[in-house]
A and B are shown apart, each in its own frame.
Chain A
Amino acid sequence: MADIVKKATRESFGEALVELGAENPNIVVLVADLADATKVENFGKAYPDRFIECGIAESNMVGVAAGLASCGKIPFATSFAMFSAGRAFEQVRNSVGYPHLNVKIVGSHAGISVGEDGATHQCCEDMALMRSIPGMVVLNPADHYEMKAAVKAAVEYNGPVYIRLGRLAVESCNNNDDYRFEIGKGITLREGGDITVIATGLMVGEAIQAVDALAAEGIHARLIDMHTVKPLDQELVVKAAKETGRIVTVEEHNVIGGLGEAVAACLGERCPTPLARMGVQDVFGHSGPAADLLKEFGLCAGGIAATVRKVLRK
């Protein structure tokens, strides 16, 4: 069993790039004046010739990444999710997605846990935007080990990938020796037959606390870490629906267009099942300390446990 570490997934992302950069000379990193925030400064120090500072111009950065990919490079175009997935959406769609180029779009500081910066920077639409592009893989890893494995998988996969990074430190949960990351295959972290909680990214850690607290009350919830939001692991979702009869999804994202809606579409077509979608309920965030905001929006262990109890009472 690997050590339990408490670290923000953006840190793990930066570490993974430095390691992978040593063995793969085609990896290049593009930044838009946010190298420290996206944790790619060490890549720049290790491989200055493969580190491309683009300044505050995300649309151009994504286009440059497309050109580099067409010449055999594996570019990681990094910024806050609001800008890499949001501002540059059309460049991602037309210059990367349509020609299916091998560009990795990276969005840090997604969701309301951006905190004090407020609504303009709290991107809760990035997964919806990236999911809507044909052929785009959408990854939202939960912890240190999962992020490192996800970055490696993204390098090995030939095509466009969106990777969502977390800003807050999270305790690792995927440190088991038998942990294996595969794009499109969710991880069952807790077995249970009463209900299933499907969480992604930062919410996985909160969901573990919630599920463990519920177990003490005699409620046995299954917990799935859905690190790949697209393509969705439909088989795992349908199996959970058939075996547990109720589903709760949790994401730090608008309930429109993200994990919850992907699960709802899957269940609606394949296995209609009572469902509650936790997330940002189609509103903008606002300024405040991240932990307080997450509590206010119910995106915390207590909020998840309360929703599970409510769904079970219905």
Chain B
Amino acid sequence: MDAEKLRSLQLTAAKVRLGAVTGVFNAKSGHPGGSLSSADIFTYLYFRQLHIDPQNPKDPGRDRFVLSKGHCAPGLYAALAQRGYFSPEELERLRHIGAMLQGHPDMKGTPGVDMSTGSLGQGVSAAAGMALAAKMDGAGYRVYALLGDGEIQEGQVWEAAMFAAHRKLDNLCLIVDCNGLQIDGDVNQVAGIAPLDEKFRSFGFEALTADGHDFHSLEAAFDAAAACQGKPAVILAKTVKGKGVSFMENQAGWHGKAPNQEQYDQAMAELNAALKELG
């Protein structure tokens, strides 16, 4: 990745963060913490990795993305809007009555959303089904799914992991947003999940690690995942919950809470300053 591409991704990620916070503020509810920790991952996927065409969102040959941690919809919506699936103005109507953007992703109502999600643990199974369909049809598309590290506690994730490895779904790539926090606190104090890399390896996955806020690191991990043959891959992306808004960073309390006017103004000031710095 050259310097220009890197700067372009960083600029887009800053806009995705602005969009996510704007959405949650206008909705007066929603999940800013995970949307911000995943913002660079969304950006990398939609602007570097996925083979997609926003003008043809139902193209049967497209790559698929499943947001298994569906509550981070504000981040996904901001990325989809930046990519041109719909107007960024839709973000201001997030969670409003009659709005296209529901509290959790709705594949029937929102262009670019490949699976309805929100109940944790279900997205990996659906993604495995999509990857299996590609194998059955001899189609070349790949399937990506993003999970939270708290979500790993759901048993269905591991049913799906066994299934994907048994079926040798090397066209499936999971990404775990390892921000270390869930609603009730520190993931490893609530109900420990470590060691995650060893768990996934023992379930038959290629387990990769990345800095979820470093595009060079993400690029290396996604390239290694794509090169993986005969088994599915998982990228354990180390992130900071609330990344980019100082008072939200590493605070479990910002998992599912909207900023008030003063907090919103401060968040926008910080995110706009970051955007300006990038030029």
| Contact A68 B156, CB 8 Å, known A55-B163, A94-B118, A99-B107 | no
Contact of B122 among A57, A71, A91 (CB under 8 A): A91
Q: How far is the CB of B192 from chain A (nearest CB, A)?
A: 23
**Stretch of B132-140, B222-230, B235-243, B259-267 on the interface side:** B132-140
For the complex formed, measure the closest distance between the CB of B208 and the CB atoms of chain A, giving whole angstroms.
23
**Does A64 count as interface, using CB distance less than 8 angstroms?**
yes
Q: Which of B90-122 contact A (CB under 8 A)?
A: 106-108, 114-119, 122
Contacts A59-B156, A100-B108; is A64 near B136 (CB within 8 Å)? Answer: no
Chain A residues bordering chain B, tally (CB within 8 A): 30
Contact A57 B107 (CB under 8 A): no
Partner of B136, one of A50, A54, A60: A50
Chain B: minimal CB distance from A84 (Å): 14
Known contacts A95-B122, A99-B107; is A67 also within 8 Å of B163 by CB?
no
**Structural contact, A63 and B126, CB atoms closer than 8 A:** yes
Say yes or no: A72-B129 contact (C-beta < 8 A), given A55-B163, A99-B116.
Answer: no
Cβ-defined contact, B160 with A63, below 8 A = yes
Question: Which residue of B has the minimal Cβ distance to A63?
Answer: B125
Point out the residue from B60, B116, B159 that lies within 8 Å of A98, measured CB to CB.
Answer: B116
Give the Cβ gap from B36 to chain A, nearest Cβ, in Å. 25
Q: Which residues of A contact B60 (CB under 8 A)?
A: 71-72
| B130:A68 contact, CB within 8 angstroms | yes
Cβ–Cβ < 8 Å partners of B137 in chain A: 71
User: How does the 8 Å CB contact mask read for A105-145 relative to B, with 1 for contact and 0 for none?
Assistant: 00000000000000000000000000000000000000000
Q: Which residues of B contact A68 (CB under 8 A)?
A: 129-130, 132-133
Q: Which residues 52-91 in A have Cβ within 8 Å of B in the complex?
A: 52, 54-55, 57, 59-73, 75, 90-91
Could you tell me the distance between the alpha carbons of A100 and B115 in the complex, rounded to whole angstroms?
11
- The answer to whether A59 and B159 have CB atoms under 8 Å apart is yes
- Which residues from A are CB-within-8-Å of B107? 70, 99
Instruction: Give the shortest distance, in Å, between B122 (CB) and chain A (any CB).
Output: 5
Bound-complex Cα distance A60 to B156 (A): 6
Shortest CB-to-CB span from A278 to chain B, Å, is: 36
Using C-beta atoms within 8 Å of the partner chain, give the interface range for chain B: 20 to 34
Which chain B positions have C-beta within 8 A of A50?
A: 136
A177 at the interface (CB under 8 A from B): no
- Contact between A64 and B128 (Cβ–Cβ < 8 Å)? yes
Q: How far is the CA of A50 from the CA of B137 in the complex (A)?
A: 11
A101: min CB distance to chain B, Å: 9
The answer, yes or no, to whether B27 is at the interface (CB within 8 Å) is: no
**Shortest distance from the beta carbon of A240 to any chain B beta carbon, whole Å:** 37
Please tell me if B152 contacts chain A, counting CB pairs below 8 Å. Answer: no
Q: Does A3 touch B at the CB level, under 8 Å? A: no
* B9 CB–A CB distance under 8 Å: no
Q: Does A296 contact B (CB under 8 A)?
A: no
Whether A63 lies near B116 (C-beta < 8 A) is: no
A95 to B136, CA, bound (A): 21
Residue A23 CB within 8 A of the other chain: no
Which chain A positions have C-beta within 8 A of B115?
66-67, 70, 95, 99
Is residue B162 contacting chain A, with contact meaning CB distance below 8 A? Answer: yes
Q: Tell me if B127 is interfacial: C-beta within 8 Å of chain A.
A: yes
Q: Are B133 and A67 in contact (CB under 8 A)?
A: yes
Within 8 Å of chain B (Cβ to Cβ): is A217?
A: no
Q: Are A70 and B126 in contact (CB under 8 A)?
A: yes
| B129 near A94: Cβ-Cβ < 8 Å | no
The answer, among B122, B155, B162, for a CB contact under 8 Å with A63, is B122
Top 6 closest A-B pairs, CB basis? Answer: A67-B129, A63-B125, A71-B133, A60-B159, A64-B129, A57-B159
User: Which residues of A approach B to under 8 Å, CB–CB?
Assistant: 28, 49-50, 52, 54-55, 57, 59-73, 75, 90-91, 94-95, 98-100
Binding site for A on B (CB under 8 A): 60, 66, 106-108, 114-119, 122-134, 136-137, 155-156, 159-160, 162-163, 166
Query: What are 6 pairs between A and B in contact, CB < 8 Å?
Result: A49-B136, A59-B155, A94-B118, A95-B122, A98-B116, A99-B107
